[in-house]
Amino acid sequence: MVQIILIFIVAMIGYLGYFWPIANVQRPLVMGMLTGLVLGDIQTGIIVGASLELVFLGSMAIGASNPPDMNSAAILGCSYVITTGAAVAQGVAIGVLVSMLMQIVWNFIMAVLVPMLGAKADKYAEEGNTAAIDRIHVISGLLETVPLAVLTTIGFYVGSEVMEGLIDKIPSFITSGLNYAMGIIPVIGFAMLARMIMDKKTACFLFLGFILVAYFNINIIGVTAIACILVAILLFNGNQVQVVKGEATGHNEF
């Protein structure tokens, strides 16, 4: 019973991590370590968490799309390996499956329930009811964290094998549809984001990143490193051009 309560606390810490700027407590490495601490095997928790960290390394929210849930993946994947003595690869597989299932719940909350609360908040804002708006903020935060933490805790209580069995019982046409949807939704989210920030000055960098990924198989870390180098080149050369122009202008005036 104590472990179940502690797992719930760990899950709450992870889901609340999205509300703490740059805390990164929701990353699998941190969640794996905390899960291992609760279950008495920190080393295994860190190993499984690090393995899941590699899986979710490039996962990020883009526009309206959300990545698979890393918290439940780390907690249930680590607990499966620690409690059953299974291989790390099996824990990673369980974690990935659970993360996809939890993503459905997360998307439902964010796409259906939270907007309903947002509409209520708009109504209270028109009425000037600041106390009600504060309550909406608190309720929204709890709605985005408590249900997911409870489901993760239930998954730990019933066992990862039961969770895997439930996932296997899902009809194949549903899982196939979800796989297609997971491939399409990030594209829609990226398109929404690109529409807001892209113009003729930045479009060339977008296409450059696309070419690097599509034709040279460079991962997101490599593309980010190249982007940092390009920013440094443009920044330093831009300053030099301004200095040269300033010197030339001063010389002509003289």
Span 107-148, pLDDT tens digits: 777 777 777 888 888 888 888 888 888 888 888 878 878 888
185-192 contact pairs (CB < 8 A, 24+): 185/64, 185/65, 186/62, 186/65, 188/63, 188/64, 188/65, 189/61, 189/62, 189/63, 189/64, 189/65, 190/62, 190/63, 190/65, 191/63, 192/63, 192/64
Q: Are residues 78 and 123 in the same domain?
A: yes
Q: Are residues 138 and 158 in the same domain?
A: yes
Q: Are residues 175 and 192 in the same domain?
A: yes
Q: Are residues 37 and 82 in the same domain?
A: yes
CA-to-CA distance for 225 and 94, rounded, in angstroms?
32
Candidate from 46-55, 78-87, 155-164, 237-246 with smallest mean pLDDT:
237-246
Per cent of the chain over pLDDT 70 is 73
pLDDT band at 254 (very low <50, low <70, confident <90, very high): very low
Convert the pLDDT of each residue in 82-104 to its tens digit.
Answer: 887 777 777 777 777 788 778 77
Please, how many CA atoms are within 13 Å of residue 74, restricted to the half-sphere of its CB? Answer: 35
CA-to-CA distance for 55 and 175, rounded, in angstroms?
20
Q: How high is the mean pLDDT of the chain?
A: 77
State the Rg of the chain over Cα: 23
Q: Are residues 28 and 62 in the same domain?
A: yes
Domain boundaries, position 137: 2-197
